[in-house]
Structure 1
Amino acid sequence: MAKTTWTDVDPEAFVAAVSPEKRRQDAAALLELMRRVTGVAPRMFGTSIVGFGDYHYTYASGTEGDAPAASFSPRKAACVVYLNDGISAHEELLARLGPHTTGVGCLYLKDLARVDLEVLEKIVRRSYATLTAGTYGQRAAER
């Protein structure tokens, strides 16, 4: 399996090419939200993930690598916000977010207009702070 890495693709051009229009609008809003929350410029991680900042992880298995500290991907069915510190870390806020579904580290948003963007911003800010604190990789290694 190939390891995903940062690319030189322009994230603004990537978002501008997203379809359908609704998904493109949501992706543009997430781009600005994450840029504001993280204070860093977006970069493409692989072919379809817009990332902000990065963190290094090491698992007990010895697997390690680098990943975006905040990221999203505008998929056909929904925009995916990646919460690499785990969905469970945000349960209280997620209860107030509005319509969404989740996976282990994924937050699926079908319509950004239907969620509370202030709550989403708090979730992204908390996740980003956790992943960039320098201790997340250590905690992952202990799992």
Structure 2
Amino acid sequence: MKHALAALLAAVSLAVLGCGSTEALDAEELPPPEDAVSQMAVCTAQCAYGPAVSCSGTSCSSTDNHGVTCDGMFTACPPVPNNCPGNLPACDDIEGATCPRSGIETQCCRVDSITTCACFGISTSPRRWLCLN
């Protein structure tokens, strides 16, 4: 009887050992669940003063002449070149911005030429800069 019990224990032990390790598999060895597979998205924004900007990620958005955002990281279009003399502001930076009072004027730089902006509006609404082309 002792020999039969020893033989049975030996057979069970060999069967368990023959099945491989009982350790859990590492996460990197497991395939991802079907709902966890993500796809990459690519976004591109056209830029008025330079090459288009692009990025890729699991989520993205783009706005022409402004830039792209991928996975929360923003990439801006190249800035408007300012080839005017002096420290004139770019017209794109001030046009449409609020101004102190109607009738005043200021100069700005539109790429490579100096132009004039005038403050327009009535007292009951915000006055805004309007720049000539």
Per the TM superposition, whether the score is higher than 0.5 is no
TM-score category of the 2 structures, normalised to the smaller one:
under 0.3
More strand per residue:
2
Larger radius of gyration: 2
More helix per residue:
1
